[in-house]
């Protein structure tokens, strides 16, 4: 085997190893993104931040992993919230059972 073919075969092998490593990293990151926010935060705390955002397709993976299954017209998932004065809890289903409209505002209203 000539020196040139040895260099080419080593280069191809190196590129294949890098490609397989990247695909495996994408799969692992995608699976971590589908877990709870607490578990995702624990894993991301151990990854050097520029590596996660520069090397991996972070935004694309995030949008697919956290897309959810709600569509326009789908009923909202039922949940419970504590009142501001902490005197009671309110379930979304209690309003929908009464056919009352519900408006949810997330974030600042100022």
Looking at residue 54, its pLDDT comes to 72
Cβ neighbours of residue 95 closer than 8 Å, sequence gap 6 or more = 101, 102
Per-residue pLDDT of the chain (110 residues; tens, 9 = 90+): 578 888 889 999 999 999 998 888 888 888 888 888 788 888 888 877 776 677 777 778 878 887 777 778 887 788 888 988 999 998 888 887 788 778 777 776 66
Q: CB-based contacts of 19: which residues, under 8 Å, 6+ apart?
A: none
Q: What is the pTM of this model?
A: 0.52
Q: pLDDT tens digits for 78-107?
A: 888 898 899 999 888 888 778 877 877 777
User: Are 79 and 92 within 8 A, CB to CB?
Assistant: yes
Measured between alpha carbons, how far is 9 from 4 in angstroms, rounded to an integer? 9
Domain map of the chain by residue range? 3-65
């Amino acid at each position: 085997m000539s020196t040139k073919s040895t260099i080419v075969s080593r280069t191809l092998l190196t590129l294949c190893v890098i490609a397989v490593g990247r695909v495996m990293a994408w799969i692992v990151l995608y699976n971590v993104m589908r877990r709870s926010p607490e578990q995702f935060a624990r894993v991301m705390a151990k990854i050097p931040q520029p590596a996660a955002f520069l090397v991996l397709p972070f935004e694309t993976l995030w949008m697919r992993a956290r897309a959810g299954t709600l569509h326009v017209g789908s009923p909202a998932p039922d949940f419970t919230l504590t009142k501001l004065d902490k005197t009671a809890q309110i379930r979304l289903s209690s309003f929908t059972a009464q056919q009352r409209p519900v408006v949810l505002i997330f974030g600042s209203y100022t």
